[in-house]
Structure 1
Amino acid sequence: MTQQSTPRTAARAEEGSGTKSARTRSRILDAAAEVLSSKGYAGMRLTDVAKVAELQAPAIYYYFDSREALIEEVMWVGIADMRAHLSDVLEALPADTESLARIMAAVDAHLRHELQISSYTTASIRNSGQVPEHIRTRQLAEEGDYGRIWRELIKRAYDDGTIRRDLDLYMLQMLIMGTLNWAAEWWSPRRGSVDDVVRTAQAFVASALTQPQDGAPNADPVDSASRSAKKS
C-alpha cells in the first residue's frame, strides 16, 4: 500500500523547529504508524518500530514513556488528521455545492485518506477495537468531532429532500462509516485502484440515499436526529 504523508495536526507542530530531536520523534511516529497498521496492536513491538525508524529500540523511550504512549499518539493523530483533511475538502467546495455532492466529496476524502494518504489513519481504523480503552480517550474525542461533520452532511441532505424519507439517519451514518472504514481491511492494489474504490463507494452510497423502496415506512426525522445526537 502506497501511503505516507506527514500529518498536519497539532501533535506534529514541533516539526517546524527543524531540530534533530523533532525529526527523530517524527520518524518514530511514522514508523509506529506503519508497524501498527500492518501488525496490529498485539503484534506491534518496539524493536520493529526501531528497525523501521533506523534507531536502537532504547532510543524510543527518550521520546515516549512507553509502548502504549506511542500507540496512543498514533491512534489520535490518525483520526485528528483525517478530520482536518475532511474539513479542508468541504471548506474548499463552492458555497452552492449541492448536499449530495458534498457527501460524495466526503466519501472521496475519507477513502483516500484511509487508503492512500495516511498510514496513521489506517492504523487508527484497523486497531480501534483492539487497543485498551484507557489509551483511546483523545481518539474517541476526535471520532466524535469527525462524526459530527458527517451527521451535519447527512442532516442537510435530509432537510433539503435529497435523502429518501424512509431512512433512520443515525443508522444511515453508522452504516456509511462502517462501510468506508472496512475498506482498510480488505483493499489492496491487487483488487483495483483507489479511484475504483472511491467511484464504487460513491455509487453505492448515492444509490442507497436516493432510491426509496416501494412500501417502505417513513422515518420520523425529528426522532432520527435526536437519536443521532444522543448516540454520537
Structure 2
Amino acid sequence: MQRKSRAKTAQRALGRPVGADSARTRKEIVRAAREVLNERGYSGMTFQAIAKRTGLSRPTLHYYFAGREDLYVAIVEEARSVIAHCATVAVESPTLLGRLTAFVDAIREVDTRDRSMMPFLISARLEYHRNPELQATGDSPIRPFLCRLVDDAVRSGELSPDTEVEVVADMLQVTLYGMAFHAAFTGSGDLGPITRQLIALFARGLVPAAGDE
C-alpha cells in the first residue's frame, strides 16, 4: 500500500500540478520562454532559466513541452496567431492605407499588452539563421500578408498596374520591422507619434491623392 502511494506521488510530480489551470500555465511558460529567448538567445533558452523565471519545477515544464525545440515551436505559433489576428483586423478596411493603419495600430496594441512580442519578432529571423534546426519555423507570416495588401491595391486601382508587388511588400516589411526594432530595443515609450508619421508617409508616397498623380 505504501509503495503504491509513493508511486502515485512520483507520477504526480512529473505531471501537471493538481488544480492548475493547464492553458494558463502553458501560456505563462511560453511567455517566460520568449522573454528568456529575447535576453539570452536560443542557446540560452534553457528549462532551468525558464523554471527560475516562472517558479515552476522542471518536471512541470516537461509535462507541457518535451524539449526546447517543442517550446520554441509554441513561441512561434503564438506569434503567428498574434500576427494573424492583426491581419484579420486590418483587412476589414476597404483601402490599402486603411489596412496599413489598422495593422500598425493592432501591432501597437500587442506591444502595449506584451513587451516581449516585438523583440521576438525581430530576433526570430536571426535565430533562424543561427540555428539550422529552426529552419522549419523560419518563414515570416508578415510578408505574405503585405503582398496580399499590395496586390489587392493594384487590383482595385489604388496602385499603378505596373507596381512591383513583391518589391513594395518588401519595402513595407523593412519599414515595419524598423518600427518594431525601435519599439523593442530603444525603450523610448509611446510609438504613437512615430506611427502617425509612418501612416502620413504612406499616404503621401505609397498611396498618393488622386490630384497628385
TM-score by length of 1: 0.66
Equivalent residue number for residue 162 of structure 1: 158
1:24 to partner: Cα distance? 2.4
Answer yes or no: is 1:195 the counterpart of 2:209: no
Answer yes or no: is 1:125 the counterpart of 2:122: yes
2:176 to 175, 180, 183: 180
Q: For the structure 1 residues 159 and 89, does the alpha-carbon distance in structure 2 shift closer, same or farther, using more than 3 Å as the test?
A: closer
CA shift digits 1:140-170 (9 cap, x unpaired): 3xx35x5433222212222333225664211
Q: For the structure 1 residues 148 and 65, does the alpha-carbon distance in structure 2 shift closer, same or farther, using more than 3 Å as the test?
A: same
How far, CA to CA, are the matches of 2:154 and 2:40 in structure 1? 40
Query: How does 1:1-232 map onto structure 2 within 5 Å?
Result: 19-91=20-92, 93=93, 97-113=94-110, 115-118=111-114, 119-120=116-117, 122-131=119-128, 132-137=131-136, 140=139, 143-144=140-141, 146-164=142-160, 167-187=163-183, 190-210=187-207
Q: Secondary structure at the match of 2:91?
A: helix
How far, CA to CA, are the matches of 1:25 and 1:31 in structure 2? 10
1:109 to partner: Cα distance? 2.4
Which amino acid letter does the alignment assign opposite residue 196 of structure 1?
P
Q: Which runs of 4+ in 1 moved over 6 A?
A: none
Which amino acid letter does the alignment assign opposite residue 102 of structure 1?
R
Unaligned runs of 5+ in 2: 1-18
Name which structure has the greater RCO, CA cutoff 8 Å, separation 6+.
1
RMSD: 2.9
TM-score by length of 2: 0.71
Partners of 1:78 and 1:121 within 8 A in 2: no
Q: Secondary structure at the match of 2:41?
A: helix
Q: For the structure 1 residues 88 and 139, does the alpha-carbon distance in structure 2 shift closer, same or farther, using more than 3 Å as the test?
A: farther
How far, CA to CA, are the matches of 1:186 and 1:121 in structure 2? 9
How far, CA to CA, are the matches of 2:39 and 2:178 in structure 1? 15
How far, CA to CA, are the matches of 2:109 and 2:176 in structure 1? 10
Partners of 1:164 and 1:210 within 8 A in 2: no
Q: Secondary structure at the match of 1:60?
A: helix
Shifted more, 115-124 versus 78-87: the winner is: 115-124
Bigger-Rg structure (1/2): 2
How far, CA to CA, are the matches of 2:67 and 2:23 in structure 1? 18
CA shift digits 1:1-48 (9 cap, x unpaired): xxxxxxxxxxxxxxxxx8533332222112112222333323323222
Q: How many residues align?
A: 187
Q: For the structure 1 residues 174 and 111, does the alpha-carbon distance in structure 2 shift closer, same or farther, using more than 3 Å as the test?
A: farther
How far, CA to CA, are the matches of 1:177 and 1:112 in structure 2? 18
Unaligned runs of 5+ in 1: 1-17, 213-232
How far, CA to CA, are the matches of 1:56 and 1:20 in structure 2? 15
Partners of 1:29 and 1:74 within 8 A in 2: yes
